[in-house]
């Protein structure tokens, strides 16, 4: 832009008022929360408007949406305090709500609610009751009608929670073992020693109690699994993967704690479709017909997978072999479109299973 000699161009400043652009108002709401979190004593409407570079009318609207109550006379999260008799009010987050609040937009709330069914496996425990209570609050946030609807804001009145959800695999029922689930979670969360008895077959003598350091609690394919080491273990190779149903009479210690190794990474033991197990150098090679090649190629089944295609459309997949039973179950789910190539003993084992299965239909 050309300027006349001696004249200083006027700096460009954003226009005060409703911000433009997709999701810009949501970013203003996030900024408003950050400001109020930093200023526990509160700020006036004028100060907030200046910091957000919007009008005071817009600030009032943002305060209402941030609170989520929908009623300007019944704020739940926020409050206005009179600084001096007849003077300006300051707005702040209520002291009891500071540090415990999370700002959610409707789309975010519904995305969280979509995973609600995944937690049904915890039913019967106090942990489930706590989480379900929190999800109930999130559901209210999602369904609370606001005075204004931004262009990027979705409606909370269309029953989206029943039309947008993740359907997890069928899970085991642990409802009768709620206290045991709570003991396991408490031990994992607070790094407490856990004592339990391994489950034994009916008629067998009771097993001795095990003192265990539970590093992680994982829900995998509808089952709860615990990863950790027995008391006294010192090396990563001592880490065990124990199904929750194999543990009985769980008790977390009130006084004994343990240190979580800095080298422990639960992702090294979780292998998706191929189960849970210790890292290994052993690998399995499977060949798939062209009929299912696209399905296999489109998925990231394992972080260490290797894929090779042939000119006729066949696909070969190489992955770590950490849990033989889980791997065989996965291969068999593809029927006659999958063939185990390596290792040879695994191929023979799968062939034997298929032969026995075929005999049942003769």
> What is the Cα–Cα distance from 113 to 361, expressed in whole angstroms?
44
Q: Among 18-22, 165-169, 204-208, which is the least confidently predicted range?
A: 18-22
Q: Which residue has the higher pLDDT, 73 or 232?
A: 232
pLDDT bin (cut points 50, 70, 90) of residue 289 is very high
Percent helix / strand / coil, the chain, rounded to 5: 40, 20, 40
**What average pLDDT does range 156-184 have in this prediction?**
91
pLDDT digits (tens, 9 = 90+) for 187-244: 999 999 999 999 999 889 999 999 999 999 999 999 999 999 999 887 767 999 999 9
> What is the Cα–Cα distance from 242 to 69, expressed in whole angstroms?
45
pLDDT bin (cut points 50, 70, 90) of residue 97 is confident
pLDDT digits (tens, 9 = 90+) for 31-70: 888 888 888 888 999 999 999 989 999 898 888 888 876 6
Task: Determine the pLDDT at residue 347.
Answer: 97
Task: Determine the pLDDT at residue 208.
Answer: 95
Task: Determine the pLDDT at residue 40.
Answer: 82
**What average pLDDT does range 353-359 have in this prediction?**
96
Q: Which residues contact 118 (CB under 8 A, 6 or more apart)?
A: 166, 168, 219
**What average pLDDT does range 66-79 have in this prediction?**
78
pLDDT digits (tens, 9 = 90+) for 108-117: 899 999 999 9
pLDDT greater than 90 at residue 5: no
> What is the Cα–Cα distance from 350 to 39, expressed in whole angstroms?
65
> What is the Cα–Cα distance from 272 to 329, expressed in whole angstroms?
13
Task: Determine the pLDDT at residue 23.
Answer: 47
Q: What is the mean pLDDT of the chain?
A: 87
**What average pLDDT does range 150-166 have in this prediction?**
78
Distances (CA, A) of 336 to 142, 332, 339: 46, 8, 8
């Amino acid at each position: 832009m050309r300027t006349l000699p001696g004249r200083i161009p006027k700096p460009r400043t954003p226009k005060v008022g409703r911000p433009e652009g997709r999701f810009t108002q949501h970013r203003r709401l996030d900024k408003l929360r950050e400001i109020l979190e930093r200023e526990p004593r509160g700020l006036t409407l004028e100060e907030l408007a200046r910091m957000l570079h919007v009008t005071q009318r817009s600030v009032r609207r943002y305060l209402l949406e941030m609170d989520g109550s929908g009623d300007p006379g019944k704020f739940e999260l926020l409050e206005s305090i009179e600084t001096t008799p007849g003077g300006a009010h300051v707005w702040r987050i209520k002291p009891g709500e500071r540090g415990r609040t999370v700002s959610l937009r409707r789309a975010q709330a519904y995305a969280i609610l979509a995973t609600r069914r995944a937690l049904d496996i915890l039913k019967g425990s106090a942990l489930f009751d706590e989480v379900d209570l929190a999800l109930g609050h999130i559901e209210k946030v999602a369904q609370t009608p606001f005075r204004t609807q931004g262009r990027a804001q979705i409606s909370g009145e269309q029953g989206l929670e029943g039309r947008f959800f993740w359907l997890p695999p069928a899970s085991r029922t642990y409802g009768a073992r709620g206290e045991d689930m709570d003991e396991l979670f408490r031990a994992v969360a607070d790094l407490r020693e856990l004592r339990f008895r391994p489950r034994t077959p009916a008629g067998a003598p009771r097993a001795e109690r095990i003192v265990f350091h539970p590093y992680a609690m994982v829900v995998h394919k509808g089952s709860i699994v615990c990863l950790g080491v027995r008391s006294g273990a010192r090396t990563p190779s001592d880490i065990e993967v124990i199904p929750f149903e194999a543990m009985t009479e769980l008790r977390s210690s009130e006084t004994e704690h343990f240190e979580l190794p800095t080298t422990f990474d639960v992702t090294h033991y979780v292998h998706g479709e191929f189960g849970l197990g210790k890292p290994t150098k052993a690998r399995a090679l499977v060949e798939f017909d062209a009929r299912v090649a696209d399905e296999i190629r489109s998925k990231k089944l394992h972080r260490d997978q290797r894929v090779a295609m042939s000119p006729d459309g066949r696909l070969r997949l190489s992955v770590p072999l950490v849990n033989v039973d889980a791997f065989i179950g996965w291969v068999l789910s593809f029927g006659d479109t999958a063939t185990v190539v390596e290792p040879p003993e695994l191929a023979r084992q799968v062939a034997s299973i298929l032969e026995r299965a075929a005999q049942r239909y003769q």
